[in-house]
């Protein structure tokens, strides 16, 4: 496997792509520029969820960081499977290999497994940046009502009116771009192979297909394009930032308020792609 750099383009329409719990669950933004943000942790969570849903948590596609998991219990599985003694100096190394072999997200993203039962620390070959919107976004806030209350006490206080007020937050529209890399040297260390890479591409393509919620209604978020820069060497044939800069994304003339991907031009400057790098574009 050689080095791969890639760009992920997705959009949000009347949705909250990544609420900030420290900000009342408002959509995340860059406070200086007003551009929308989606964290790398959020994107990795959706990849994990897709793999868990489609592969059923069966090795070698089990998921280490999943809802309500107890991580030290996951570590114990390695020690039990290999009949390891925690006092053995080589136990953590052997356990780390077992964890990489059985958990997709460990050999993909890495993990710190030195807490409690020691399974070592893994640097993952696949890393993602924060996604950033191409334009500043507007955080919209709506009042919503629920025709029910939670407790009898609330019902008595409202004399049977039984209504609860709430808030909902969205961005009207935003096109986001995230950058990623596949490090072939770390892939060799974790055992991340071609089948894992194919599953990563599949997961990115279907990132929001099974992610609908009250904050992200069905059809409100979609992956629009994946662009892969595949190098012919492990070290890479060009700096990643030069390849990213070869993708020019801009609003079409006359568009003041974008409301769809069709309001943008996404253009590849082929003259900026050096020899030894092939470009693969996937329209979703």
> In which band, very low, low, confident or very high, does the pLDDT at 224 lie, cut at 50, 70 and 90?
very high
230: pLDDT confidence band, cut at 50, 70 and 90? very high
Tell me: cis bond preceding 55? Omega within 30 of 0 counts.
no
| Range ranked top by mean pLDDT from 149-158, 165-174, 255-264 | 255-264
- Cβ-contact 205, 284 below 8 angstroms: yes
The structure tokens listed for 18 are: 């990544």
Q: How confident is the model at residue 257 (pLDDT cuts 50, 70, 90)?
A: very high
Query: CA 152 from chain center: how many Å?
Result: 41
Number of H helices and E strands in the chain, helices first, is 8, 14
- Mean pLDDT computed over 27-31: 97
224 close to 10: Cβ distance less than 8 angstroms: yes
Q: What does the pLDDT read at residue 85?
A: 92
* SS3 assignment, position 165: strand
In this model, does residue 152 exceed pLDDT 90? Answer: no
Domain boundaries, the chain: 4-67+123-138+171-283
Nearest to 146 by CA among 168, 164, 161: 164
Q: Give strand ranges (E) for the chain.
A: 4-15, 19-20, 26-27, 35-38, 110-113, 120-123, 126-128, 131-136, 140-146, 164-182, 221-231, 247-251, 264-268, 277-283
Determine what percent of the chain is predicted with pLDDT higher than 90.
Answer: 87
189-207 pLDDT, tens per residue? Answer: 999 999 999 999 999 999 9
Residue 144 has pLDDT above 90, yes or no: no
**How remote is the C-alpha of 280 from its chain's centroid?**
20
Q: Please give the average per-residue pLDDT across 252-261, as a whole number.
A: 96
Angle between helices 91-102 and 71-82 (to 10 degrees): 110
> 């935003």: which residue's tokens?
174
This prediction's pTM: 0.93
């Amino acid at each position: 496997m050689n080095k791969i750099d890639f760009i992920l383009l997705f959009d949000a329409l009347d949705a909250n792509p990544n609420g900030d719990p420290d900000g009342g669950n408002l959509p995340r933004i860059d406070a200086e520029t007003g551009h929308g943000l989606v964290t790398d942790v959020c994107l990795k969570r959706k990849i994990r969820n897709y793999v868990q849903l489609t592969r059923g948590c069966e090795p070698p596609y089990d998921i280490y960081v999943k809802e309500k998991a107890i991580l030290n219990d996951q570590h114990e599985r390695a020690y039990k499977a290999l009949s390891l003694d925690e006092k053995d100096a080589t136990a953590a190394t052997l356990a780390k290999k077992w964890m990489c072999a059985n958990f997709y997200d460990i050999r993909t993203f890495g993990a710190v497994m030195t807490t409690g039962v020691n399974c070592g620390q893994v640097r993952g070959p696949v890393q993602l940046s924060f996604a950033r919107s191409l334009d500043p976004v507007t955080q919209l806030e709506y009042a919503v009502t629920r025709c029910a209350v939670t407790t009898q006490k609330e019902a008595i206080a409202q004399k049977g009116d039984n209504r609860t007020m709430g808030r909902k937050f969205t961005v009207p529209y935003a096109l986001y771009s995230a950058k990623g890399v596949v490090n072939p040297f770390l892939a060799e260390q974790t055992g991340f192979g071609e089948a894992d890479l194919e599953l990563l591409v599949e997961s990115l393509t279907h990132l929001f297909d099974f992610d609908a919620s009250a904050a992200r209604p069905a059809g409100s978020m979609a992956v629009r394009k994946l662009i892969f820069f595949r190098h012919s060497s492990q070290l890479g044939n060009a700096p990643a930032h030069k390849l990213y800069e070869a993708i020019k994304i801009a609003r079409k003339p006359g568009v003041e308020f974008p409301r769809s991907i069709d309001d943008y031009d996404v253009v590849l400057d082929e003259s900026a792609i050096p020899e030894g790098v092939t470009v693969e574009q996937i329209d979703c």
